């Protein structure tokens, strides 16, 4: 496994012509198994995303040049799903039955837009072309009608789901907050499209902090577990 992190600053000016530095973080993790090389990108800003994608491209080109991998890359795109499939794909990340580390979850937010090309019911006509962000509470996702009605899943463009996973590993517990999205697909026009990405943040319970010898190691273990879960969902939807 290879881990690369880049910290850099961008200049921001205010009305008083003062200049401040906003710190961005881009992290790229490369994991190589028998016949697959997996790149995991994490970033906290648009400029950091660009940096992460540049690093992935350069690493892939180097590995191809060294004949270590073939020129094959798996990217899961917004456009590869039907509306219903895309919604169900995002919702599949609330199924953690196969995990021995993630014990429970709470869905926090869901971003979507009504499909302008679909025949919308009159009650949703005023939402045509508008982004909707639903703040969710509770693991049953029963606070938004669009996620319960199969017919409504056909007419919404689902872009992002944020989930807070409750974890327990080696006597350490806390929360692992994950945002899964399709890279701003709702604002990409004229055709909506984007690549599936994941951003995460680790929280450790106060009572567990004294048990943690390495936050970096803990975070790496949780990333490995989430990537295992991600592969499970990719296989379920025939993406790998």
**DSSP track, 137-176:** -STT-TT-GGGT-HHHHTTEEEEEEEEEEEEEETTEEEEE
Structure tokens at 147: 């996620």
Q: Are 230 and 72 in contact (CB under 8 A)?
A: no
Q: Are 211 and 97 in contact (CB under 8 A)?
A: no
pLDDT digits (tens, 9 = 90+) for 177-207: 999 999 888 888 878 889 999 999 999 999 9
pLDDT for 144: 72
- The series of mean pLDDT values per 10 residues for the chain, 240 residues long, is 57 54 76 70 80 81 61 76 94 93 92 86 80 72 74 90 95 96 86 91 96 94 93 89
Taking the C-alpha atoms of residue 87 and residue 84, their distance in angstroms, rounded to an integer, is 5
Structure tokens at 173: 């517990």
> What pTM value is reported for the model?
0.69
Q: Are 227 and 174 in contact (CB under 8 A)?
A: no
User: What average pLDDT does the structure give for the chain?
Assistant: 82
pLDDT for 208: 96
Note the helical H segments in the chain.
46-65, 83-91, 150-153, 215-236
pLDDT for 5: 59
Taking the C-alpha atoms of residue 116 and residue 127, their distance in angstroms, rounded to an integer, is 9
Return all residues near 238 (Cβ < 8 A) that are at least 6 apart: none
The tally of CA atoms less than 13 A away on the side-chain side of residue 179 is 15
The share of the chain scoring above pLDDT 70, in percent, equals 81
- What are the φ and ψ backbone dihedral angles of 112, each rounded to 5 degrees? -160, 175
Distance set, CA 12 to CA 7, 21, 25, 182 (Å): 16, 6, 16, 27
């Amino acid at each position: 496994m290879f881990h690369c992190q880049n910290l850099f600053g961008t200049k921001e000016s205010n009305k008083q012509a003062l200049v401040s530095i906003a710190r961005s973080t881009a992290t790229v993790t490369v994991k190589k198994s028998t016949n697959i090389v997996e790149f995991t990108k994490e970033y906290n800003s648009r400029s950091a995303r660009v940096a992460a994608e540049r690093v992935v491209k350069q690493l892939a080109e180097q590995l191809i040049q060294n004949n270590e991998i073939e020129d094959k890359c798996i990217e899961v795109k917004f456009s590869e799903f039907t509306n219903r499939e895309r919604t169900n794909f995002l919702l599949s990340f609330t199924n953690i039955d196969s995990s021995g580390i993630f014990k429970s979850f709470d869905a926090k937010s869901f971003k979507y837009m009504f499909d302008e090309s679909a025949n919308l019911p009159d009650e949703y006509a005023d939402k045509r072309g508008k982004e909707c962000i639903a703040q969710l509470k509770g693991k049953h996702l029963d606070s938004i009608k669009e996620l319960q009605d199969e017919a409504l899943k056909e007419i919404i463009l689902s872009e992002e789901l944020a989930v807070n996973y409750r974890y327990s590993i080696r006597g350490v517990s806390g929360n692992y907050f994950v945002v899964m999205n399709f890279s701003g697909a709702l604002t990409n026009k004229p055709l909506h499209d984007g690549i599936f990405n994941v951003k995460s943040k680790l929280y450790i319970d106060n009572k567990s902090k004294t048990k943690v010898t390495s936050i970096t190691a803990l975070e790496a273990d949780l990333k490995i577990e989430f990537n295992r879960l991600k592969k499970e969902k990719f296989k379920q939807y025939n993406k790998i």
